[in-house]
Each structure stands twice: as C-alpha cells, then as structure tokens.
Amino acid sequence: MPKGLSAALAIALLIGLNGCTPAPTQAAKPSPKTASPVPIESPTPAATAEPIASPVVAVPPTPYPRLPIPAGTARCHTAQLEIVFSRVGAATGHVLNDFEVRNASRTPCWVYGYVGFQLLDSAGRPLPQTVVWTTDSFFGRFDAPTRILLATGTAAVHSSQGQGHAFFNVEADDSTCSADQMGATAKLEIWPPDEYQAVVISTRGGWDGFVSCGHLAMHPLQVQPRPSSG
C-alpha cells in the first residue's frame, strides 16, 4: 500500500474512534435526580411519635374525691366534729404532724380554712408557742383553703378510708426542740374554723406522739392527708 494512503487511513481511524467516545465533561455531569437533596423529600423522623411520652409530667391523683356541697348546707360546728391525731412524719430536721377530722353527727356540714391550735401541759395550762398560717411546707405545697364537705356515715377515723373527711397538718422544726419542751405537751386544744368551742385531745409529747416545738406552721384544712404537690 502506498505510504500516503496508509497515513490517510490512520488519520481517518483515529477521528472515528474519537467521535465514538463521549466527552469527559459530559460524563462527569450529575443528573438532576442525584443533585436534589434527599432529606427534604424524606418524612420527618420519629419526632411525630414523641407526644406519647408527655404523661410523664402528670400530677399525682388526689387520694379522695372532693364531694360537692349541696345548696343550703351549713358550716360545721364543734359539737359535730371528731378530731384525732393520726401520725407524724420526719425528714432532715422537719416534722409534719397529721390530723383527721370527721363529721360524727347526722347532718352534713362543711369546713373551711385553718383551725385554732394551742399546746397544753398535763394540767391544761397553755404552753409557750408561736403559730403561723401558710400553704408552704418543707414537704410540699398545700392547696389554698377551700370549702370541704364532711358527709355523714363515713368510715371511722384511723381506718385509712378518709373519703368525706378533712385533714390538716402542723409542721415544726424538731432540731430546735428540747426534750423537756416536747415532753411537756400532754394535750392539744383545737378550734374548728370560726368556732369558739374547742376540742381537747390527749397526746404524748415526743417521737411516739405529737412532736411539738415552740414555733408551729399551721396548714389549711385539706381533702387529702398530705401536700398536693412536692
């Protein structure tokens, strides 16, 4: 084959091969689908299922329901009521003396507010004390005073069946009490709210009875035995 023809064929073959090979710049160009960000089109992750965890902040239930007060129901008077000391609880220098109030009569009535309270010695003489009324407590916060119906025919006190009863708590700081002071308390004089006649109950001073100090914090009558919030 002539030399000039061989060179022409080689050049034609090289041009043909280059025409069949795609340009490098076009092969590297991404497609529109690959370029669109995937997270925008994907569903929102588990955030939509999170509301299931919200009941964790639920408020502890009231142990006894609040009974409705029928129209025309009168306020409770001392002669209708039974008042007992139930127990004492303590934590880091603070004590909470618990009391229970029951309607012992045959007529429904309601109570509201704070009781009057006085420490007495064995001869019935008043002992030195200071009393403040408050809903704040080392053990939690008490509800503000509200009217509480004391129904008739309810369970006996100390039966752990307090529906239809009322409760109040006397708080003290036992770290400032002397043994003589606690031992001197033999009786408690308690006035139901707005009453002039008191109920006098016997108690033992000290850790096996009412823990009394000179400074007492009186909490309002409640529908439950302990603070409503911690």
C-beta of residue 227 within 8 angstroms of C-beta of residue 145: no
In a domain? residue 210: yes
Do both 85 and 185 map to the same domain? yes
In a domain? residue 47: no
Do both 14 and 111 map to the same domain? no
Question: Strand 215-218 vs strand 130-133: parallel, antiparallel, or unpaired?
Answer: parallel
Residue 27's domain comprises 3-41
Quick one: pLDDT at residue 2? 46
E-only strand ranges, 16-123: 81-91, 94-103, 109-111, 116-120
Q: How many separate domains does the chain show?
A: 2
Do both 92 and 24 map to the same domain? no
Hey, what amino acid is at 136? D
Quick one: pLDDT at residue 88? 81
Span 70-108, pLDDT tens digits: 999 999 999 999 999 988 876 667 888 999 999 999 999
In a domain? residue 62: no
Span 103-128, pLDDT tens digits: 999 999 999 999 999 999 999 999 98
Q: Which residue has the higher pLDDT, 184 or 8?
A: 184
Quick one: pLDDT at residue 152? 95
Span 120-176, pLDDT tens digits: 999 999 998 889 999 988 878 888 999 999 999 998 888 888 889 999 999 987 666
Do both 88 and 177 map to the same domain? yes
Do both 164 and 113 map to the same domain? yes
Do both 89 and 200 map to the same domain? yes
In a domain? residue 58: no
Do both 19 and 106 map to the same domain? no
pTM (whole model) above 0.85: no
Do both 95 and 173 map to the same domain? yes
Do both 184 and 121 map to the same domain? yes
Q: What is the Cα Rg of the chain in Å?
A: 40
In a domain? residue 20: yes
Of 148, 150, 128, the residue nearest 216 (C-alpha): 128
Do both 130 and 183 map to the same domain? yes
State how far the Cα of 230 lies from the Cα of 57, in Å rounded to an integer: 13
The answer on pLDDT for 228 being more than 80 is no
Cβ contacts of 213 within 8 Å, gap of 6 or more: 172, 173, 174, 176, 177, 181, 182
